[in-house]
A and B are shown apart, each in its own frame.
Chain A
Amino acid sequence: MHRGQLSISVIEAGVGVILIFAVTMMFTLGVPTPDTETPQLDAYADDVATVLTNEPPRHGGETRLEEVVTEDASEREYDALESRIERILDDNLMYRLALPHGAVGYERPTELPAGRATVPTIEGEVIVWIWYV
């Protein structure tokens, strides 16, 4: 009986500790902190989409958005759109606007959470992405 064995009580205590930790982990990991970033970004994207959808056009078409989605919308139209969106957005936000025949804005980083909004138009879907710098 003197083989340097651990006492049974200590082994039991060890098993108990592991069990308690397992339960604790379940609670702490099972209640993740809510993702508040993406809903906020989604709201921003929605706002940009709404503003562009309702804005009167610069030249032709029904609204600002209708004007830029056509296939022959010129580079100048895109530049104006770009500066318009930059004026709407706060400084800590970046954007990309995917149009049926092109895109304006920045390359979207894959590793960051981004908010998204889509607007249907005659020419196809317009997608707005917004993310934090």
Chain B
Amino acid sequence: MTLDRNGQANLPAMAVALIIITTVAGVSITVVDGAFRSADREATDRAIAVATADRLVDDDSPITERSNVLAERRVTANRIADSVPESIDIRITVDGDVIYERGDPAQGTTARRLALLAERQQITLDTDFEHRTATLPRRSPRATLTIHDDSGIETVRANGRVVLHDPKGLGGSYDVSLSRYETTTLRVDTVPEEGDVTATYYPRRTQKALVEVTVDA
């Protein structure tokens, strides 16, 4: 009699135990599944976004002048299209303006890079070389000098370096390259008449620009 009572499992307790175990196992699977899904979802998107942003601001990028300096005239959808991986939703903005968009990457991951947006200006120097010299107020990698045929100028120097020389006398329009690391003073070897020499230079104006790449693979 005693043996019979002890050997029997307590049926209601067993039922409760089974229910508890099943519930806990179910909840656990849901939690683990959620953890896995959230963990690997972003990785590809982020990798693509970071790599694309990296490539866009690189020295060799089709839209930059040098590392992290975008040339304004090159920032176009056409040039960017080649640097973008295929078959993903992607949006590229520069300073808030959408430059390139494919699909709708609203749910995607964004990589951001700091860059400068450079714009070349063209300024004609307001001088007649009265004292044979003229200093460019801002740095410029090159300048265009237009010299009248009868001016009698044979040599033009930039900071002492001869950039143009013709013993028969200079005449015409010349492009000269200058140093972008120092302020340039142009010097001619005779005092020209008014309007004989005009100098145009191309300083760069930069402003900051945030490059944002949003990817939804």
Contact = CB atoms under 8 A, between A and B. Distances in A.
A43 B68 contact: no
Interface in B27-70: 28, 31-32, 35-36, 38-39, 42-43, 46, 50, 53-54, 57, 66-69
Interface string A83-127: 000011110000000000000000000000000000000000000
Interface in A27-61: 27-28, 31, 33-34, 36, 39-40, 43-44, 47-48, 50-51, 54, 56-57
Interface in B111-161: 111-116, 139
A23 interface: yes
B68 A40 contact: no
Nearest to A29: B35
A47 B17 contact: no
Contact of A28 (B32, B68, B181): B32
Contacts of A13: 16-18, 20-21
* From A13, A33, A39, A54, residue with most partner B Cβ within 10 Å: A13
Nearest to B39: A31
Contact of A90 (B13, B36, B116, B210): B210
A16 B18 CA distance: 10
A88 B210 CA distance: 9
A23 B28 contact: yes
B114 A44 contact: yes
* From A12, A47, A54, A57, residue with most partner B Cβ within 10 Å: A47
A1 B114 contact: no
Chain A interface size band reads 35 or more
A8 to B, nearest CB: 8
Contacts of A39: 50
Contact of B116 (A12, A31, A36, A51): A51
B107 interface: no
A106 B109 CA distance: 30
A88 B24 contact: no
Contact of A31 (B36, B114, B139): B36
A31 B180 CA distance: 51
Contacts of A27: 31-32, 35-36
B25 interface: yes
B50 to A, nearest CB: 7
Contacts of B39: 31, 33-34
B69 A24 contact: no
A47 B115 contact: yes
Given A12-B17, A27-B35, A39-B50, A1 B43 contact: no
